[in-house]
């Protein structure tokens, strides 16, 4: 099979071809681009392997692209990246690798194309297409990657125990590719992951998290987690999630398997949203359940305060995994904390005040919270699922109606601290905070509308109770 016309569909390849010929260097496009071409999934990133100096080739290619081309050279690694607009090509010299037991950084020597293909992680990632004019478009596939692509199989080119022990990150990559492409991992390869799980210890948590994020971003993150579980990677990378597995019985009454439920919720969220952090919120929403599980004579299995306990577990988990500790963590915490609230607002008799409080606490994340809660209905009882879905739809309507009326989502106090200081001619003090909280509560409870004048009158009345006297020039203190 020749891929000349497929190469020519991208203007980069004729330029690469000419550059390689001019330098007299043997040159191939390799890895992900070739895999995705054969799968009919066009990809932008191009990896090029050069038998000789990848950097020399990159420099000549950048020159050939002319103005606007940008080159980054990584001499330590013998690689270089050239970018111009949408063009993004990475160059590496063909290499042979050997490994030390305590590091995933290999000792590197120059090698042939065949050597370079042997060091690649999976057969489907080890295919190369020649770019030199004499063999332009020729596929070099020493490990039958084409066949594995057709059968949907992830397999290492060499002995999987050695491949994974050399660079254990490849185990996470195996899960990632199997998940993303909907492939199965060959049993011998999967068994080798199980045998080498402990080797994950030499991988930095940043790299692990990068792979985990990629798994979480696929269309089927629940399958990724299941695959991680089947080979022991889940216990290693996410022990708190692994702890949710299993069912306990008391008096013949079992609770549901929290892990199985979590995977359904995660998948439900992934089907409805691409938001990575909402997906993490789904993964962690019940993480507090194993710790809070109790048998109660009246209610059966209960998980008292599991949302709060789960929220508290997140900072150490995020820190260990090197996931971002800023806005992202704050968001996931908020979702985990609030995930029980909407279900309690589905009753007929729920007050507007309770709805305003939820809008206030969730703010602009209310829609995401509703997606999480809607995905959290995983009962096998169809009638029950429909009833909950209807209730949530009604709740969404109520949320919309009250938001339109009271504008709580982006709540800004209609009277701020500075205005209060001026109104009573007082310096910054705790009373101002108390008055502001009182205004907020009065608005959320529907005592006063979310409007400036009403809030100001309310502050004056409340201040009188505290024996605070208005400033003499009260009328001119309006902010
Ligand atoms: P993606 O579409 O996610 O970029 P990719 O296959 O291009 O997929 P990269 O991580 O960009 O994946 O790596 C490019 C190529 O380099 C891979 O196809 C594979 O041949 C090789 N490779 C990358 N990481 C490893 C690794 N840890 N061990 C062996 N080979 C690797
Ligand atoms: Mg790539």
Please tell me the predicted confidence (pLDDT) of residue 404. 87
Give the pLDDT mean for 47-67. Answer: 96
Q: Which residues surround ligand 2, an ion (CB under 5 A)?
A: 32, 45
Ligand 1 near 95 CB (within 6 A): no
Cβ–ligand 1 contact at 169 (below 6 Å)? yes
Please provide the average confidence, as pLDDT, over all residues in the chain: 92
pLDDT for position 387: 86
How far CA 15 is from CA of 42, 43, 62, 89, in Å, comes to: 19, 18, 10, 12
pLDDT level of residue 295 (50, 70, 90 thresholds):
confident
For atom 25 of ligand 1, the residue with the nearest CA is 121
Ligand 1 atom with the shortest distance to the CA of 180: 3
pLDDT tens track for 126-145: 999 999 999 999 999 999 99
Residue of the CA atom closest to atom 6 of ligand 1? 32
Q: For the chain, what percent of residues have pLDDT higher than 70?
A: 99
From the CA of 29, the nearest ligand is: 1
Residue 53 has pLDDT above 80, yes or no: yes
Closest C-alpha residue for ligand 1 atom 11: 32
170 lines ligand 1 (CB under 6 A): yes
Whole-number Å distance between alpha carbons of 79 and 472: 74
> Does any ligand 1 atom lie closer than 6 A to the CB of residue 125?
yes
User: How far apart are the CA of 125 and the centre of ligand 1, in A?
Assistant: 7
- Is the CB of 211 within 6 Å of ligand 1? no
Q: Given pLDDT bands bounded at 50, 70 and 90, which one contains residue 251?
A: confident
With a cut of 80, say whether residue 303 has pLDDT above it: no
Q: What is the pLDDT of residue 346?
A: 78
Residues making up the chain, counted from first to last: 479
Distance 45 CA to ligand 2 centre (A): 6
- In the predicted structure, residue 331 carries a pLDDT above the cut 90: yes
For ligand 1, whether the C-beta of 167 sits within 6 Å is yes
Query: Which ligand 1 atom is nearest residue 176's CA?
Result: 3
pLDDT of 393? 87
Q: Is the pLDDT of residue 212 over 80?
A: yes
**Separation of CA 32 and ligand 1 centre (Å):** 6
Q: Is the pLDDT of residue 347 over 80?
A: no
Against a cut of 0.85, is the pTM above it?
yes
Residue 164 has pLDDT above 90, yes or no: yes
Share of the chain above pLDDT 90, in %: 67
pLDDT, tens digit (0-9, with 9 covering 90-100), for 19-47: 999 999 999 999 999 999 999 998 889 99
Confidence of residue 467 (pLDDT cuts 50, 70, 90): confident
Provide the pLDDT for residue 108. 87
55 CA → ligand 1 middle, Å: 19
Q: Which ligand gives the minimal distance to the CA of 218?
A: 1
Q: Is the pLDDT of residue 277 over 80?
A: yes
Instruction: Give the mean pLDDT of 269-296.
Output: 92
Distance CA 260, CA 214 (A): 21
Provide mean pLDDT across the span 222-232.
98
314: Cβ–Cβ under 8 A, 6 or more apart, which residues? 284, 287, 329, 332, 333, 336
> For residue 129, what pLDDT is reported?
98
50-59, 243-252, 438-447 — which one is most confidently predicted on average? 50-59
pLDDT band with cut points at 50, 70 and 90 for residue 468: confident
**407-431 mean pLDDT:** 88
- Distance, in Å, from the CA atom of 87 to the CA atom of 64, rounded to the nearest integer, reads 13
Least confident of 60-74, 94-108, 132-146, 330-344: 94-108
Phi-psi region of 412 (alpha: psi -120 to 50; beta: other; left: phi over 0): beta
pLDDT tier for residue 174 given thresholds of 50, 70 and 90: very high
Answer yes or no: is pLDDT of 161 > 80. yes
Q: What is the pLDDT of residue 98?
A: 87
Nearest-CA residue for atom 18 of ligand 1: 31
Stretch 321-334: mean pLDDT: 96
Ligand 1: residue whose CA is nearest its atom 3: 32
Q: Is the distance from the beta carbon of residue 54 to the nearest atom of ligand 1 less than 6 Å? A: no
pLDDT, mean of residues 384-394: 86
Question: What is the pLDDT, as a whole number, of residue 298?
Answer: 78
Per-residue pLDDT, averaged over 259-280, amounts to 97
Q: Please tell me what DSSP assigns to residue 121.
A: S
Q: Is 45 in the pocket of ligand 1 (CB under 6 A)?
A: yes
Q: Helix H segments across 120-220?
A: 145-151, 160-166, 169-181, 187-196, 205-217
pLDDT of residue 50: 97
Cβ-based neighbours of 399, under 8 Å, separated by 6 or more: 355, 358, 359, 366, 370
**What pLDDT is attached to residue 234?**
98
121 CB less than 6 Å from ligand 1? Answer: yes
459 with 415: CB under 8 angstroms?
A: yes
CA–CA separation, 144 and 141 (whole Å): 6
pLDDT category of residue 250 using cuts at 50, 70 and 90 = confident
Q: Which tops the pLDDT comparison, 346 or 132?
A: 132
CB-hemisphere CA count at 13 Å for 103?
7
How close is the Cα of 283 to the center of ligand 2, in Å?
A: 27
């Amino acid at each position: 099979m020749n891929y000349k016309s497929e190469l020519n569909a991208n203007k980069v390849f004729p330029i690469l071809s000419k550059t390689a010929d001019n330098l007299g260097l043997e040159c191939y496009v390799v890895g992900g681009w070739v895999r995705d071409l054969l799968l009919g999934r066009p990809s932008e990133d191009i990896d090029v392997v050069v038998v000789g100096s990848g950097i020399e080739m990159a420099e000549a290619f950048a020159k050939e692209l002319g103005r606007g081309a940008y080159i980054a050279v990584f001499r330590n690694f013998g690689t270089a990246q050239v970018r111009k607009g949408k063009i993004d090509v990475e160059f590496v010299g063909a290499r042979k690798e050997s490994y030390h037991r305590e590091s995933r950084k290999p000792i590197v020597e120059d090698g042939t194309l065949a050597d370079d293909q042997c060091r690649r992680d999976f057969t489907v990632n080890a295919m190369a297409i020649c770019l030199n004019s004499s063999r332009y478009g020729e596929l070099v596939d020493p490990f039958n990657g084409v066949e594995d692509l057709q059968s949907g199989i992830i397999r290492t080119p060499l002995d999987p125990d050695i491949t994974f022990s050399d660079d254990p990150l490849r185990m996470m990559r195996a899960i990632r590719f199997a998940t993303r492409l909907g492939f199965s991992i060959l049993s011998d390869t999967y068994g080798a992951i199980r045998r080498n799980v402990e080797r994950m210890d030499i991988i930095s948590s940043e790299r692990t998290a990068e792979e985990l994020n990629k798994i979480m971003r696929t269309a089927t993150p629940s399958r990724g987690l299941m695959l991680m579980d089947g080979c022991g990677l889940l216990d290693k990378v996410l022990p708190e999630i692994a702890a949710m597995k299993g069912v306990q019985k008391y008096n013949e009454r079992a609770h549901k398997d929290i892990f199985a439920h979590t995977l359904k919720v995660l998948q439900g969220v992934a089907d409805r949203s691409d938001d990575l952090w909402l997906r993490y919120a789904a993964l962690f929403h019940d993480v507090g359940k194993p710790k809070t599980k109790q048998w109660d004579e009246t209610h059966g299995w209960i998980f008292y305060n599991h949302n709060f306990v789960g929220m508290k577990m997140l900072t150490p988990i995020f820190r260990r995994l090197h996931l971002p500790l800023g806005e992202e963590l704050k968001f996931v915490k908020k979702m985990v904390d609030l995930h029980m609230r909407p279900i309690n607002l589905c009753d007929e008799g729920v007050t507007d005040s309770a709805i305003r409080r939820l809008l206030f606490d969730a703010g602009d994340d209310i829609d995401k919270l509703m997606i999480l809660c809607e995905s959290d209905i995983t009962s096998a009882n169809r009638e029950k699922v429909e009833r909950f879905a209807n209730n949530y739809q009604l709740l969404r309507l109520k949320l919309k109606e009250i938001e339109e009326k009271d504008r709580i989502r982006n709540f800004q106090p209609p009277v701020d601290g500075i205005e209060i200081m001026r109104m009573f001619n007082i310096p910054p003090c705790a009373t101002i905070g108390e008055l502001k909280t009182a205004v907020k509560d009065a608005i959320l409870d529907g005592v006063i509308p979310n409007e400036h004048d009403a809030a100001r009158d309310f502050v004056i009345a409340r201040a009188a109770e505290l024996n605070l006297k208005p400033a003499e020039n009260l009328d001119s203190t309006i902010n």
